[in-house]
Structure 1
Amino acid sequence: MSKISAYILFLSLFLLAACDSAKKEFETLKEGEILLDINTEEYSLNGTVLGKTATDISVIDDVIDKPLYKELCDTRGKFLEEALGNGESIDIFELAKLHVDDNLSYVDFYKALSSMYFCGYSDFNIAIGTNYKDVFQLSIPRTDYMWCGLVIQRMKGLRYKYLRNRQKLSLSEMSEIDVEDRECVEEYKGLDLLLSFYRKDDGIAYVVSLNETFFNKGSRFDGYNFYTFNNDADLWKFIEDIRSKVDRQIGNMPGKKEDKVLRLLANAHGPNKVMLVFQKDVLMKDIAPIVKKLNTYGYRFAFDLD
């Protein structure tokens, strides 16, 4: 065996051992944690197979999968009952782990995530395919929206319908469609970064949407801008530029000691969050590289259906 062959063999064994170690760490559960594992054939909860993915999840025409939802809620209920009986804190029962197959559809992933969330889980560690090294965290806040909050949520959702072949979705246009109370949103300052892609005959088009008045102090909200890229190099250059502008914006916030908390809150809850929107039949293996790249930038995630 040549030195090069021996080196390649050693490197392969080293990487395999590292992958096995990461997988073992991910599958090791602490008290009160659950692990939902879904592949294209079947799905399991904490190692116990519950059923077939095709008949129990894929065919369900709802974002909440009722059979899965029931199993998740029953399991969480038992954990909570036992903890309360022992006088223990129940805060730890909000964390869940989710592993999905590379070839699972995005809509099945979304159903699983929604079912877990509505059972009371709000913090997630998620692994896609065989990559257990790049587990990403997802935290879904529980928000009780007042009227203006609901108006803003509807406004954000309108963008999903207009992702293709568009440069602007103005507030006037949104008002004609669905945004009834303009006074709620005219002073809106959220960046609302959104990323999606769709397939074309000659490849993939990536779409980024955002509220650019976030960067223009004193400007009134006038809708969302859209940018389309035909290759990932241009996409990531644009994301890096946005990231740099956000960092400068946050860095220019008041520097007095008492304002540090405000800067931290702005950084955590606004411009460092990205909404990922995909069509139902997109496979998780096509989403994984996007999530991995955004994770390196420190973005927090939210998911929705196109």
Structure 2
Amino acid sequence: MKDGEILLDVNTEEYSLNGTAIGITFIDISADDDFYNKPIRTELCDAKARYQKYVRRNGLPLYDLAKLHVDDNLSYGDFYKSLISMELCGYSELNIAVGSNYKDIFYLSIPSVDYMWCDFVIREMKEVRYKCLRYCQKLSFDEILKMGIKDRECVQNYEGLDLVLSFYSKGDGIAYVVSLNEAYFNKGSRFDGFNFYTFNNDADLWRFIENVRLRVERQTEKKSEMKQDTVLSLLVDSVNVSNKITLVFEKDVLMKDIAPVIKKLNTYGYRLAFSIVDSN
């Protein structure tokens, strides 16, 4: 490992930082949702502070890439809490590996964003749809407003594709759900909610994802032909990232079941983000 490099390793029994065990997974991660006062966050933040002090004192370049390795039998909930703990300590670039195959590493970049009011509203709007991933074919604009999103102007002007992927157990198999904003593909259309598409096998799922990618490529070509102010174009592209996909799962799903999905999306070049289904 390089000087200052951080490796957080989380298995079902304990978690370690750079090879030194620092806590019990169930006590410090599984059983408590308090991210702010847990030993895992304290250790991560202290390690980052020590490294930054060392860099400043010696006039060295800052190496800010951290590593997260999780056991493939770890729950998604524990993975998500570990990831959030790293984010809260300022780790924004991560190499993540699941299970014993360290070759299947995926890179995660957590953007630094200064949220304006509409950004908070849109973030809340995105999260309300997680509650109906199993049941919806469409979550309309009016239904979103009825779910407590009060700022109509912020919501109706939303233009992002906002691709979401999830899955859940269904009988003896798995049902995959993809949600997106179809208005993204229709020039001049106002946001009218999110569509949901359910697939009972992964072959149909990946055919649909491939079709979305092709539609995005065509849409991107159309937008590139439009004459726009350069600064405005950069701002739009930075907010509406069409090659980003958010993975959303319930906390008890095992990482070994999620890992193949991550691997496939990684080969497509998607930028990944993670969120969790609120059980409340």
TM-score when normalising by structure 2: 0.92
2:148 is the alignment partner of 1:190: no
Task: Give the SS at the match of 1:236.
Answer: helix
2:172 is the alignment partner of 1:205: no
Match of 1:88?
60
Which of 37, 40, 46 lines up with 2:18 in the alignment?
46
- Unaligned 5+ segments in structure 2 are none
8 Å CA contact retained: 2:247, 2:272: yes
In the alignment, the residues of structure 2 paired with residue 159 and residue 54 of structure 1 have an alpha-carbon distance, to the nearest angstrom, of 29
Between the aligned residues of both structures, percent identity stands at 62
In the alignment, the residues of structure 2 paired with residue 214 and residue 148 of structure 1 have an alpha-carbon distance, to the nearest angstrom, of 18
Point out the more displaced range, 174-183 or 220-229. 174-183
2:46 is the alignment partner of 1:79: no
In the alignment, the residues of structure 2 paired with residue 303 and residue 105 of structure 1 have an alpha-carbon distance, to the nearest angstrom, of 14
Match of 1:36?
8
Which of 198, 208, 228 lines up with 2:198 in the alignment?
228
Look up the equivalent residue of 1:301 and give its one-letter code. Answer: L
Task: Give the SS at the match of 1:183.
Answer: helix
8 Å CA contact retained: 1:65, 1:115: no
Which of 137, 144, 147 lines up with 1:177 in the alignment?
147
2:36 is the alignment partner of 1:67: no
Match of 2:137?
167
Q: How does 1:137-286 map to 2 (within 5 A)?
A: 137-255=107-225, 262=233, 266=237, 270-286=241-257
Which of 95, 101, 122 lines up with 1:131 in the alignment?
101
8 Å CA contact retained: 1:193, 1:273: yes
Match of 1:19?
none
In the alignment, the residues of structure 2 paired with residue 61 and residue 267 of structure 1 have an alpha-carbon distance, to the nearest angstrom, of 31
| Count of residues in correspondence between the two structures | 276
In the alignment, the residues of structure 2 paired with residue 300 and residue 248 of structure 1 have an alpha-carbon distance, to the nearest angstrom, of 19
- Report the CA distance between 1:120 and its aligned residue: 0.8
**1:259–1:238 distance in 2 versus 1, CA, 3 Å:** farther
CA RMSD of aligned residues (A): 2.1
Look up the equivalent residue of 2:178 and give its one-letter code. Answer: V
**Bigger Rg, structure 1 or 2:** 1
- Unaligned 5+ segments in structure 1 are 1-28
